[in-house]
Amino acid sequence: MDLRQLRYFIALNEHRSFVRAADAMGITQPAFSRSIQGLEQEFGCVLVDRGNKDLRPTPEGQVVLQHALSLVQGAALLSSEVTQMTKLDAGEVRFGCGPAPAVKLVPDAVAQFTSAHPKVRTCFAVDNWEKLSRSLNREEIEFFIADIRHFEADPNYQTQPLTPKRGVFFCRPGHPLLAKESLSTNDMFDYPLAATLIPPGIRKLLANLSGRIDFSPTIETEHFPALVKIVRQSNAIGVGTAEAFAEDIEQGSLVLLHWRNLPQNLDSLNARCGIVSRSGFRLSPAARKLIEVLVEVDRQGHAIAV
């Protein structure tokens, strides 16, 4: 018994005719009949009721048919998965990214990747690092791009650093805080804070500088365009990375805020962006290639900025 014989038997069940089934499989009717007979001899029973006009399978044939369908489908799935693991002209890659990389790094890298490999389906989700890590562990994605501080020391994850992203505070032009000569971090808490999910370390730093135990943003979203629009239309203070808002700041639709008690080059305030995958799991060729593109696009972007 082999898969070829099982495919012939499935075809006979579909076409209910030796002639039509043989034609569909691209072989002669005698050769097709011999293959079905060989299958019956191997099982030691009749699989097709030839006395029935519709050539219906016998009870034994029904059992063989059920397993044949499962085996043939499984073989096709196996072939497809191996193809995805060995070639870059098929398959798909699924990954995730935080809201900051989704503004520029990921679109630029995916555009470059899909231009080189147009037949690979690319799917990515934008969310915070907590939810992305859960998606990774559920095998819904192969990797994600986000702040890597929570994963570097965990043996279950493998991390690859990218260029750190400078954390900034911003507001709309004409915001009341801009009229003050000097600002402290206490001043920011007089207004709503709008941010993505802030890592605990950064949140604790800002709270301690302001004499607080902790705080939560008034507005929290992983959708950067919405966050920017809210800040433009209200007195909310936005928190994010400089790269994500560079165009808005250059155009003057957003203004950077500077706090006198917060060093401008404080490393702990920066987002330590990187690529996170699971330890001990082999990435698909498409995922590995996309990561190469992400690293290169990040490197080029950093070189231009410097």
**Best-predicted range by mean pLDDT among 52-61, 73-82, 100-109, 193-202?**
100-109
- Residue at which a domain ends, from 35, 66, 85: 85
pLDDT of residue 306: 43
Strand partners, 158: 277
- Residue at which a domain ends, from 28, 58, 85: 85
Is residue 72 pLDDT above 60, yes or no? yes
- Residue at which a domain ends, from 51, 85, 119: 85
Percent of the residues in the chain that have a pLDDT greater than 70, as a whole number: 92
pLDDT of residue 83: 61
φ, ψ (nearest 5 deg) of residue 170: -145, 160
Q: How many domains does the chain have?
A: 3
Lowest mean pLDDT of 69-73, 139-143, 147-151, name the range: 69-73
**Averaged pLDDT for residues 276-296:** 93
Q: CATH number, domain at 287?
A: 3.40.190.10
Is residue 90 pLDDT above 80, yes or no? no
**Contact call for residues 235 and 193 (beta carbons, < 8 A):** no
Domain of 239 in residue numbering reads as: 165-271
φ, ψ (nearest 5 deg) of residue 24: -65, -35
**Averaged pLDDT for residues 155-169:** 90
Is residue 198 pLDDT above 90, yes or no? no
At 110-146, the pLDDT tens digits run 999 999 999 899 999 999 989 999 999 998 999 999 9
Query: Quick one: 245 and 180 in the same domain?
Result: yes
Q: Which comes out higher in pLDDT, residue 169 or 89?
A: 169
The residue ranges of DSSP E strands in 66-156, in sequence order, are 92-97, 121-126, 143-147
∠ Cα 75 277 164 (to 5°): 150
86 falls in which pLDDT band (50, 70, 90)?
low
Burial 77-96 (b: 16+ CB within 10 A, else e): eeeeeeebeeebeebebbbb
